[in-house]
A and B are shown apart, each in its own frame.
Chain A
Amino acid sequence: MNIKAQSSGQSTARNTTSKGSADKDLVRFQSVRKSYDGVHFVVKDLNLSVREGEFLTMLGPSGSGKTTTLMMLAGFERPTLGRILLDGKPVEQLPPEKRNIGMVFQNYALFPHMTVDENIAFPLRYRGIKGIEARDRIRKARSMVHLDAMAERKPAQLSGGQQQRVALARALVFEPSLVLMDEPLGALDKQLREHMQMEIKQIQTSLGITMVYVTHDQSEALTMSDRIAVFHDGVIQQLADPVTLYNAPQNNFVAGFIGENNAIVCDVQERGPVSVVKAQDGTLMTCVAPDPEDDGRDLRLMIRPEKLRLAGAEQTGRSNVFSGQVREAFFLGDHIRLRVSALGQDNISIRVTAWEGLSFQPGDTVKVACNVDDCLLLRGQA
């Protein structure tokens, strides 16, 4: 399948403004497959292009093939089949040290027997950068990640966040054109993680480097990325910019993995760009189907919790309305989440603003409505 064609124009527009050489592919995976045992493929027929200057995230649950893909790009794994082009040249046979790619590892992989400066200096000695220039570069890299006072510390004397910054400085100091990051923020607490996300993103934009980032955290992916490739079962389920991914998921795996979604089991009554389905309790729902062709895969009606609203007496024409019974109400500060049984399921989640939700008790009957455009009929995963 041609993944490039699927990505929307929005991200391209963002890239062209920040970088002159837009749409030049820095990395290209061509029909790459990877198997460790010769029977099962961890990565199945991967086609993916990374544009120069973009922040591309490979997002997926563990075992989805995203890390293997990253390791093939870094040179630590070899593709079983297919080609990887870096700057137009095939690199499958090239050892990692010849690829000139900066990499930040999951556990930072700082060298414990070297100081901060020695760690940052490490890549420079292999590039013949010595003396004043090396000192200058180290100092700049260190101050870029706000570690000016830490030059002589050993990694063990640094906090997790500081270690993360050293790893970043070390991967950037030799000015690689491509930087890979393998779940770099996984070990940090939530606040620090959000802070580092902004910092990494800001460094990437200001230096104009291409970054390939692996994570299983969808909110991290949405915050930082120009484009996101959603991995599952060794296949890219969808490649798009964050907004498209959230609003127009290609299948119900993507719809469920990015943000929350109510997956409603249904029978299709009428199939077309606008379809009619029947829920398990017999309620008829009108919905849009982005991909109307049938290929035998399961179809699900997907509705996001925040698109569902509690309905008053009057309703506009293009809405689905159904009734349900409140099971539980969770107070979450800025909103209230209701678990409602409706449409033959007891796990329909509705997000309501706090003031309107406070009056509900378990057992109350509610009327729920949503726009037809927000009801998506999606197929199962690719």
Chain B
Amino acid sequence: MTAALHDRIDVFMAVKRAERPARRAAFSLSLPLQGFLLLAFFLPIAFLLIAAVGNPETRQILPQTLGALEGWDGTQIPPDAVFEAFEEDLKAAHANRTAALLGKRLNYEVSGSRSAVVAAGRLAASRPSGSFKDALLASNPMWGTAEIWSVIKRNGSAVTPYYLLMAVDLTQSADGLLRWADEDQGIFLAVLGRTLLIALMVTIGTLLLGYPVAYVLTLAPRGVGSVMLLMVLLPLWTSLLVRTTAWVALLQTDGVINDVLMFLGLIDEKVQLIYTRVGTVTAMTHIQLPFTILPIYSVMRAINPSHVRAARSLGAGPLSAFWRVYAPQTLPGVVAGCLMTFILSLGYYITPALVGGANDQMVSNLISIYINRELNWGMAAALGVVLLTVTVAIYALFLRLVGADKIRLG
């Protein structure tokens, strides 16, 4: 046995050795891209994940207070030692101008704490006569409750689930239990659901409009076909902003569409098109069409026309032959095109911002609000993580449902 086996192993190793240089060359050619992906894609995502759970403020600004709170049971007002430590921390914070930062962070969880912390900082810095604790309690009764101190204690850890929970409308109460966020704060699931709904509508729209076009493209004679393909590709060569602005011009109340409809007598008074769901979905569908058409077209082109002929010769009418023989073979392209459009639509930002109304804002718009207006990076990152998770989950679901071999993106 062994001699023959050794021979086979030797041959196997020899094959590996002989192919190694070619493998190495191929691998080294892809190194620049791998490096680029690492820097431009994987590292930012890693930072995003960290930012979504990072919790540096309390830890850095109140180190002594957190130390003094360690033995506290969380039911009564903390002992005086805590207030003394708090005074020291606040003095430093006031000097470093970081008290507002702490106030902003605590304000996410206990409303009103922003001004309370800033006031306390000022109080600590001005060295009141008498006890700091009494002065503090007099300045804001909030400091006499266990709630604010347990929030401070909880935020002493380096990571917090707060942003991620908030992004799915959950909060953690002082005793650590999860509960649904208050109605005025719990808007994120609604926005996520709206994002999914708009993406779905756009996907269906592009499929209904794109599938026949892809089919006609495969039938058209070469010259006509290439002109048609050019028309399909043309939107891809124009900037997203330009196309969206063009839609604004078309959809606005004194815009082209309303004028034409009025002229034709189809409507009596101008309809609201811009800042509506209809306008958003229409504009997005237009922009996404090539992404749905191209994978379907490339799959359709590879289908042998003799299959439909065979079906006809075997007794199937034109519709039946199309539905039972042609359409199933286009499925890999349909799935790929829909997946591409759906996932790209989830991340739309400019179009809903310009064409949509208040009720058409998607997750990306919220993210941009948190980054640009609220300066709340934790919340922005958490929403980004939710969006990423949903995207990956949908991709995995598609893989599971139709199989990897049924998706042909190229």
Chain A residues close to B by CB (< 8 Å)? 74-76, 95-97, 99-103, 105-107, 109-113, 122-123, 126-127, 170-171, 174, 180
Contacts and interface: CB of A to CB of B under 8 A. Distances in A.
A127 B309 contact: no
B334 to A, nearest CB: 13
A13 B319 CA distance: 45
Interface stretch (B45-53, B189-197, B310-318): B310-318
A109 B126 CA distance: 90
A171 B309 CA distance: 13
B310 A105 contact: yes
- Interface hub of A113, A127, A180 (most chain B Cβ within 10 A): A113
A106 B320 CA distance: 23
Contact of B306 (A95, A107, A123, A126): A107
B310 A109 contact: yes
B316 A111 contact: no
17 contacts: A75-B313, A76-B309, A97-B313, A97-B315, A99-B313, A101-B313, A102-B314, A105-B310, A109-B304, A111-B307, A111-B310, A113-B328, A113-B329, A122-B316, A123-B314, A126-B320, A170-B314
A95 B312 CA distance: 8
Nearest to A127: B315
Contacts of B321: 97
A323 to B, nearest CB: 55
- Interface hub of B304, B306, B307, B314 (most chain A Cβ within 10 A): B314
Given A113-B328, A113-B329, A107 B304 contact: yes
Given A97-B316, A107-B304, A127-B315, A112 B329 contact: yes
A74 B313 contact: yes
- Interface hub of B313, B315, B316, B317 (most chain A Cβ within 10 A): B313
A180 B310 CA distance: 11
Contacts of B307: 109, 111
Contacts of A107: 304, 306
B340 interface: no
B313 A111 contact: no
A107 B303 CA distance: 12
A95 B316 CA distance: 10
A297 B404 CA distance: 64
Contacts of B306: 105-107, 109
B325 interface: yes
Nearest to B321: A97
A111 to B, nearest CB: 5
Contacts of B313: 74-75, 96-97, 99, 101-103, 171, 180
Contacts of B315: 97, 100, 123, 126-127, 174
Nearest 5 interchain pairs by C-beta: A126-B315, A109-B310, A123-B314, A103-B313, A96-B312
A306 to B, nearest CB: 40
A97 B322 CA distance: 13
Prevailing SS type, chain B contact patch: helix
Interface string B241-279: 000000000000000000000000000000000000000
Contact of A97 (B312, B324, B328, B329): B312
Contact of A111 (B312, B317, B325): B325
B27 to A, nearest CB: 31
A174 B313 CA distance: 11
B312 to A, nearest CB: 4
Contacts of B312: 75-76, 95-97
Contacts of A171: 313-314
Nearest to A126: B315
Contacts of A97: 312-317, 321
Contact of B316 (A99, A100, A126): A126
Contacts of A100: 315
B309 A111 contact: no
A27 to B, nearest CB: 15
A341 B316 CA distance: 60
A105 B325 CA distance: 15
A74 B306 CA distance: 12
Contacts of B309: 74, 76, 96, 103, 105, 109
A110 B329 CA distance: 12
Contacts of B314: 97, 102-103, 122-123, 126, 170-171, 174
Contacts of B304: 107, 109
Given A99-B313, A109-B307, A111-B307, 7 more contacts: A96-B312, A97-B313, A102-B314, A105-B309, A107-B304, A111-B311, A174-B315
Nearest to A123: B314
A122 B324 CA distance: 10
A96 B316 CA distance: 9
A101 B313 CA distance: 7
Contacts of A112: 329
A314 B237 CA distance: 87
Contacts of A103: 309-310, 313-314
Nearest to B309: A76
A100 B310 CA distance: 12
Contacts of B316: 97, 122, 126
A326 to B, nearest CB: 49
Contacts of A110: 310
Nearest to A120: B314
A45 B307 CA distance: 30
A97 to B, nearest CB: 5
Contacts of B317: 95, 97
A99 B324 CA distance: 20
A101 B318 CA distance: 16
A270 B101 CA distance: 119
Given A106-B306, A107-B304, A107-B306, A122 B311 contact: yes
Interface in B50-89: none
A101 B309 CA distance: 12
A122 B329 CA distance: 16
Contacts of B320: 126
Interface in B361-377: none
A202 B329 CA distance: 35
Contacts of B310: 103, 105, 109-111
Contacts of A126: 314-316, 320
Nearest to B313: A103
A180 B309 CA distance: 13
